């Protein structure tokens, strides 16, 4: 039985680890919040007392943490993953972080013989629970093939997109598209409501035409009802848009619409709405339109 050391058992990591347990993997989990580890144990996994144990007893190590700083601390720290790894071990980082950080971690792991993949995911909490995430993977092709069985448990679309850092670059593009689409759906909903249109009927017909998209399919109902329970928090999308805008600037690429949406997301965070789902962009559109959010 392959043992997976899973570090980071939050909204995304918890369900992913549970799905690995259901698939027959021996999952040794660790999270800074003990209650999250307890949920994994209840599902049939095991609890590690710290990062060192999760790494030392694992064949494959997976991380799902918040940002680049967390990955650097967990992977490169004195008591972190690389400090407790062994040659040939496979380390898969599924966090959404800077491509530069992913390349730095891979470079630090190379002399140790540790095989590293950056494998950020898309699909939010529902995708993590259902095991149908989209996973974009950067790293060596042989290492990707070795990791494929684990990744295909948690993802329905698993694609090798290039060398180290490429997975994070594709994820940044994903977050750019998602943010822009949510903003346009929010604007469309406020526009429709201003004219007294049957919005549920309007969403159905829009979803069936060229305007159809996954945001309409998965987010529009909650937006119409003003339910913004987090599947993916504004705080996290704000972080991701920072990665997008920084990477675009480094490459000399202009993203005018993306930059505007990044500022709107930053505004929501500044107003104290960082804990809401990113579909809460609807609230800001209403405010800017002089309409009171219901």
Exposure string of 192-206, with b = 16+ CB inside 10 Å and e = fewer, is bbeeeeebeebbeeb
Hunting for tokens 């950067």 — which residue is that? 138
Q: What SS3 string covers the chain?
A: CCEEEEECCCCCHHHHHHHHHHCCCEEEEECCCHHHHHHHHHCCCEECCCHHHHHHCCCEEEECCCCHHHHHHHHHCCCCCHHHCCCCCEEEECCCCCHHHHHHHHHHHHHHCCEEEECCEECHHHHHHHCCEEEEEECCHHHHHHHHHHHHHHEEEEEEEECCCHHHHHHHHHHHHHHHHHHHHHHHHHHHHHCCCCHHHHHHHHHCCCCCCHHHHHCHHHHHCCCCCCCCEHHHHHHHHHHHHHHHHHHCCCCHHHHHHHHHHHHHHHHHHCCCEHHHHHHHHHHHCCCCCC
Residue 283 appears among annotated catalytic residues: no
List the catalytic residue out of 22, 110, 171, 219.
Answer: 171
End-to-end CA distance of the chain: 52
Q: Which residues are catalytic?
A: 171
């Amino acid at each position: 039985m392959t043992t997976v050391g899973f570090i980071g058992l939050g909204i995304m990591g918890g369900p992913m680890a549970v799905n690995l347990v259901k698939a027959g993997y021996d999952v040794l989990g660790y999270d800074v919040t003990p209650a999250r580890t307890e949920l994994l144990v209840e599902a049939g996994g095991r609890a590690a007392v710290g990062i060192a144990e999760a790494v030392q007893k694992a064949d494959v190590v997976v991380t799902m943490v918040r940002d680049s700083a967390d990955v650097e601390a967990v992977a490169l720290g004195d008591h972190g993953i690389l400090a407790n790894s062994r040659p040939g071990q496979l380390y898969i980082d599924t966090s959404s972080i800077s491509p530069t950080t992913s390349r730095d971690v891979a470079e630090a792991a190379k002399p140790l013989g540790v095989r590293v993949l950056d494998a950020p995911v898309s699909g939010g909490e529902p995708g993590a629970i259902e095991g149908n995430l989209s996973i974009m993977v950067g790293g060596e092709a042989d290492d990707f093939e070795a990791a494929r069985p684990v990744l295909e448990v948690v993802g329905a679309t698993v694609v090798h997109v290039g060398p180290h850092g490429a997975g994070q670059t594709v994820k940044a593009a994903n977050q750019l598209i998602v943010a822009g689409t949510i903003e346009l759906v929010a604007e469309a909903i406020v526009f429709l409501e201003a004219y007294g249109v049957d919005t549920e009927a309007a969403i159905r017909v829009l979803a069936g035409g060229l305007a159809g998209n996954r945001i309409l399919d998965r987010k529009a109902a909650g937006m119409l009802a003003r339910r913004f329970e987090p599947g993916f928090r504004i705080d996290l999308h704000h972080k991701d848009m920072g990665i997008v805008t920084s990477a675009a600037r480094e490459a000399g690429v202009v993203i005018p619409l993306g930059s505007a949406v990044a500022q709107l997301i930053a505004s929501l965070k500044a107003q104290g709405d960082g804990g809401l789902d990113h579909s809460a962009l609807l609230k800001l559109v209403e405010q800017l339109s002089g309409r009171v959010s219901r």
